[in-house]
Structure 1
């Protein structure tokens, strides 16, 4: 039985804690969250985990892995403590809002030799994985360009925006990662434009709510990203991959698969309400991958190096938006 601990009992921490507790090979031993709340206490009861301080987790030799789903400002320190303690890590993105810290932590974690999975759950979604498989196998032909749409159902509160690191590091980082994952190569040029068109509170917080980003890969292929903090119909997550033999689509998943037709036309269900619902299967698969990584040494689909490279693109997008010019990047580029 693999014993794990979860840091963070918030929205994504609850998802990971419940998935870990439901895994037949896992005992969720500890939950660490300094903020006392009913949902934290209820989560501990649901999962039969003990609420404790971080020191207890890292001193317990029976805990072989930790899940870092706490606030972003805690990720770097917890990753380094896990590396020193020799414990495997499943960490939510990003590693830090400071890019120099991301570079430093990535280097130290890799040198420590611990297994590390980074939380880019779309890589574990069956739809995105099928597209990747058809591209890698050659069945779809050569991938030529990608178009991605990511729109939240409604803007987040200002207090969240002020701690998120901005739209590129918080929301668009998943699209940056998927671009690298599907292309199978790095990005050479980032060109981004952004503005606050929807929510004056986001603008007052110094962030944007609408962006368009164009990426050019090292071989000259293109990615167009459309990101927004609002979609009037719900969570909007779509992808189109143009290949030489096929065009591959990931569409929004409806809440129900039934279409109703009457004299007024055809009516279908609204999309799933938000990313936690939309990617529920992916989050479960991600937890299974973490357990396999610990148990069998399986390589994760996304490691800490992928987190660094996705954030490199986010940082370049910020620079591009501020300067109004494309940013050329390389393997050692930093803002």
Structure 2
């Protein structure tokens, strides 16, 4: 049995803990969560895990991997401690809200050779995987243009906004990652606009709730991203990839698959409530990939380096929005250097 530990028992921590505990090759030994609650006790009972302090995990030689799903401000230190103790890591994005810290941690983790999977669950969703496969195989023809829509059902509370790192680092980072994943090449320019059109509490917290971002790849292909903190009908997560022989669509998944037709027209179900429900299967596949990475040494679809590059794009989008100018981008672009220009 592969023994694992989970840091964090919030919304996504619960998902990962339950998925890990359900795997036949895994014993979830520990859960680390500083905030006591009824749901924490219930999660420990459901998974059979013990509640413990962080150092217990890192000093236990039986623990082969750790799942970091705690608050973002803890990710960097936990990643470094895991790397120092030789434990494989599954870490939720982002590594840190400070980009220099993300660079430092990424370099340190890579130096140790410890395997690290970063939590970009869309790469493990079967629909997005199929789009990628048809592009890479050449079946769809040359990829020319990608359009992505990501809209939450409703704005998050102000206290979440204040610690999230902002829309680009929190929500749009998944789209930045998917752009790189589907293009198979890096980005040359980033242009972003954003505003607060929905919830003035978000504006008071110093963030935006509506954005549009245009990316140009090094070979001249385009990505258009639409991001918003509200969709009137629920969670909205769609993709269109225009290729020379096919147009590939990933549509919203309905809560129910039945369409009802009557004299008033055709009626279908509303989309799944939020990303947890929409990507249930992807989260399960992501956990299986982490376990396989530990057991066989397989390479994850999303590495810590992918997390760094997605966040580099997010930082460039922030600078573009604040300056009103397109950013000439590369894999050595840094926000501090941009500010000194």
1:120-199 equivalent positions in 2, closer than 5 A: 120-199=120-199
Structure 1 spans left out of the alignment, 5+ residues: none
Q: Which runs of 4+ in 1 moved over 4 A?
A: none
Task: Give 3-state SS (helix, strand or coil) of 2:146's partner.
Answer: strand
C-alpha separation in 2, matches of 1:310 and 1:291: 24
Task: Give 3-state SS (helix, strand or coil) of 2:220's partner.
Answer: coil
Corresponding residue for residue 279 of structure 1: 279
C-alpha separation in 1, matches of 2:38 and 2:154: 26
C-alpha separation in 2, matches of 1:330 and 1:271: 37
- CA deviation vs aligned residue, 1:159-190 (integer Å, no higher than 9, x gap): 00000000000000000000000000001100
- CA deviation vs aligned residue, 1:103-143 (integer Å, no higher than 9, x gap): 00000000000000000000000000000000000000010
Structure 2 spans left out of the alignment, 5+ residues: 336-341
Task: Give 3-state SS (helix, strand or coil) of 2:30's partner.
Answer: strand
Matched, 1:105 2:105: yes
Corresponding residue for residue 305 of structure 1: 305
1:171-320 equivalent positions in 2, closer than 5 A: 171-320=171-320
State the Cα distance separating 1:8 from its structure 2 match: 0.1
- CA deviation vs aligned residue, 1:308-329 (integer Å, no higher than 9, x gap): 0000000000000000000011
C-alpha separation in 2, matches of 1:323 and 1:41: 48
C-alpha separation in 2, matches of 1:220 and 1:63: 46
Corresponding residue for residue 61 of structure 1: 61
State the Cα distance separating 1:41 from its structure 2 match: 1.0
Corresponding residue for residue 50 of structure 1: 50
Matched, 1:12 2:22: no
Task: Give 3-state SS (helix, strand or coil) of 1:241's partner.
Answer: strand
TM-score, normalised with respect to structure 1? 1.00
C-alpha separation in 2, matches of 1:177 and 1:188: 15
C-alpha separation in 2, matches of 1:334 and 1:37: 41
Aligned length: 335
Task: Give 3-state SS (helix, strand or coil) of 1:176's partner.
Answer: helix
Matched, 1:71 2:68: no
C-alpha separation in 1, matches of 2:329 and 2:138: 28
Task: Give 3-state SS (helix, strand or coil) of 2:211's partner.
Answer: strand
Task: Give 3-state SS (helix, strand or coil) of 1:34's partner.
Answer: coil
Task: Give 3-state SS (helix, strand or coil) of 1:234's partner.
Answer: coil
Matched, 1:83 2:83: yes
